[in-house]
Amino acid sequence: MNDSAWARRPTDHEIREVLVAGRTQGLLGEADTAVVFHDLDLLDDRLDELVAAFPPNALHAIAIKANPLIEVLRAVVARGCGLEAASFEEVMLARAAGCPPDRIVFDSPAKSVAELRASLELGIRLNADNFDELDRIIELRPPDSTSIVGLRVNPLVGDGSIPTTSVAGAASRFGVRIDRVVDGLVPRAEAHPWIRGLHHHVGSQGIAIDAHAAAAAATAALRDRLHDALGRPQFDTVDIGGGATTDYVGEGPTEPAEFVAAVSAAAPSLFAADTVLMTEFGRAVQANCGWAASTVEYVKQSSEGDIAVLHLGADFLMRPAYQPEHWQHRFSVVDGTPGAGPPAPWIVSGPLCFAGDIVGRSVPLGAVSAGDTVVVHDVGAYTVGMWSRHCSRGIPLVLGHRRAPTGEIRFDVLRARESPEDVVRFWSADPFGHQVGSAPR
Ligand SMILES: Cc1ncc(COP(=O)(O)O)c(C=O)c1O
């Protein structure tokens, strides 16, 4: 039996126990027609396994965009990991979560001068997306900045199975093509020894482990060429990005040990003691830790099948709604009357007012009635963090859960439910009280 935390996710039985505990402890009220949960024990176990599989000086900067809740980020930092920021706002989230600056890496492809200046002052790690940005950094960097600076490289290993999240093909708009790095990087690195990093990211989901291995081999070979040209070893930091495959509907999880075996065989030098190897996993760490429960508000019939109407739709599951051919989730009924006979295929619809708000097709759910609770599994990544304001529904309550040694289930509020009043404030001229937009009429 595989007891890796990366192969584990909350079972329907555990989910029922958590729901009962949440109700008993008075955390779930009538307005909580949908609630999102994050299994913080599982998150800890996954991070511990990740850390254990890599060399001791590796730095795992977990991608904030996968789950930007500060309490989740705090749990990540508490395990000794760092955070990868895709915007300056995410840099601020990392700081709010107590992440030391040397464990934050800022990777956006559109960093402004002001954002670069602030990051260099804070000592945040930076990966420049291109030579123009590297030149800006050279110009802006105060001599006493502790920021370690790297260059993002496109390893050109080709696209994975999902075009919109693949970034290592020839058409990618991220990083400098690997075959054009040496000439531009050598003179800059020669003059500025603090340019010490190389970074690549292949894509998110749909990336075969062989592509990760090929990218690592390409970046390791590039580093050798750079060192030959410089006549000294300088690039001691290699950040191999994120993108380990996550198991949603049978893709199979990528376990850290398996990932390390494949990548270290292809690029052993990246695993040597003189290298700080960085990763930026997001989805593979977080997705399976999260699940969401929604009341079935109505059951309807259409010419294409029976429809269960949930309180979570394209606002929460944007990719499954807009690209169902690539993104699917498992659903189960955890609170209701299990139907007799073979599970009927259901259409699972969200609450939004457009035809495409379908988050599951041909879902085998058994009998479903209004008032039942349906669980959407594996929603711990790219869900709350991609929340859409279409139709202005409030973000549901997000609860973290852990099991005490006594067996008792304990909750942390990771984010309180947005009320209709909160949403009205959100769409007002000055939702955050900045005293702007109050010009005389
Ligand atoms: C540069 C970079 N690093 C890391 C990630 C995280 O990828 P994943 O969540 O698939 O691990 C992304 C996601 O798009 C990214 O663009």
Q: Are 239 and 127 in contact (CB under 8 A)?
A: yes
440 lies in some domain: no
208 and 244 both lie in a single domain:
yes
Residues 6+ apart with CB under 8 A from 351: 297, 309, 310, 311, 312, 313, 357, 391, 393
Q: How many domains does the chain have?
A: 2
Looking at residue 34, its pLDDT comes to 98
Q: What is the pLDDT confidence band of residue 1, given thresholds at 50, 70 and 90?
A: low
Percent of all residues in the chain with a pLDDT value above 70, rounded to a whole number: 97
Instruction: Determine the distance separating the centroid of ligand 1 and the alpha carbon of 367, expressed in angstroms.
Output: 38
Q: What is the pLDDT confidence band of residue 380, given thresholds at 50, 70 and 90?
A: very high
Give residue for tokens 């900067």.
Answer: 61
Is the minimum distance from the CB of 247 to ligand 1 under 6 angstroms? Answer: no
Average pLDDT of the chain to the nearest whole number:
95
299 and 258 both lie in a single domain:
no
Task: Compute the C-alpha angle 1/263/255, nearest 5°.
Answer: 25
73 lies in some domain: yes
Q: Both tokens of residue 236?
A: 């001691």
Hey, what's the torsion of the CAs at 370, 299, 391, 400, to 10 degrees? 40
Looking at residue 335, its pLDDT comes to 80
Q: Are 164 and 185 in contact (CB under 8 A)?
A: no
Q: Both tokens of residue 10?
A: 């909350």
Q: Give per-residue pLDDT as tens, 19-73.
A: 999 999 999 999 999 999 999 999 999 999 999 999 999 999 999 999 999 999 9
124 and 212 both lie in a single domain:
yes
- In testing the pocket of ligand 1, which one of 64, 280, 288 has its CB within 8 Å of the most ligand atoms? 280
Phi-psi region of 46 (alpha: psi -120 to 50; beta: other; left: phi over 0): alpha
CA distances to 118, 142, 155, 327, 374 from 181, in Å: 27, 25, 10, 34, 50
Domain boundary among 235, 266, 286: 286
251 lies in some domain: yes
104 and 163 both lie in a single domain:
yes
Domain boundary among 247, 263, 286: 286
Give the domain extent around 198: 41-286
Task: Compute the C-alpha angle 34/286/11, nearest 5°.
Answer: 65
Domain boundary among 228, 252, 286: 286
206 lies in some domain: yes
Q: Give per-residue pLDDT as tens, 311-354.
A: 999 999 999 999 999 999 999 998 876 555 567 899 999 999 99
Query: Residue 187 is part of a domain; what is its CATH number?
Result: 3.20.20.10
Cβ neighbourhood burial of 263 (10 Å; 0-12, 13-18, 19+): buried
CA distances to 87, 165, 299 from 305, in Å: 42, 31, 11
Residue ranges with strand state E in 133-261: 149-154, 176-177, 195-199, 237-239
Query: Residue 354 is part of a domain; what is its CATH number?
Result: 2.40.37.10
49 and 140 both lie in a single domain:
yes
Is the minimum distance from the CB of 153 to ligand 1 under 6 angstroms? Answer: no
212 and 238 both lie in a single domain:
yes
Looking at residue 338, its pLDDT comes to 59
270 and 354 both lie in a single domain:
no
441 lies in some domain: no
Cross-strand pairs, 197: 150, 237
Q: Give per-residue pLDDT as tens, 384-434.
A: 999 999 999 999 999 999 999 999 999 999 999 999 999 999 999 999 999
Query: Is beta strand 298-302 parallel, antiparallel or unpaired with respect to 305-309?
Result: antiparallel
Percent of all residues in the chain with a pLDDT value above 90, rounded to a whole number: 94
Sign of the four-CA dihedral 372, 403, 48, 150: positive
Atom of ligand 1 nearest to the CA of 152: 1
Is the minimum distance from the CB of 280 to ligand 1 under 6 angstroms? Answer: yes
Question: What is the rounded CA–CA span in Å between residue 424 and residue 396?
Answer: 15
330 lies in some domain: yes
What's the number of CA atoms in the CB half-sphere (13 Å) around residue 167? Answer: 21
439 lies in some domain: no
266 and 319 both lie in a single domain:
no
Q: Both tokens of residue 397?
A: 């309550």
319 and 390 both lie in a single domain:
yes
Is the minimum distance from the CB of 281 to ligand 1 under 6 angstroms? Answer: yes
Cross-strand pairs, 277: 238
The residue whose CA has the least distance to atom 14 of ligand 1 is 204
293 and 230 both lie in a single domain:
no
212 and 321 both lie in a single domain:
no
183 lies in some domain: yes
165 and 97 both lie in a single domain:
yes
Q: Give per-residue pLDDT as tens, 164-207.
A: 999 999 999 999 999 999 999 999 999 999 999 999 999 999 99
What is the DSSP annotation of 310-374? -S-STTT-HHHHH-TTT----EEEEES-PPSSSPPEEEEE-SSSSTT-EEEEEEE--S--TT-EE
Is the minimum distance from the CB of 282 to ligand 1 under 6 angstroms? Answer: yes
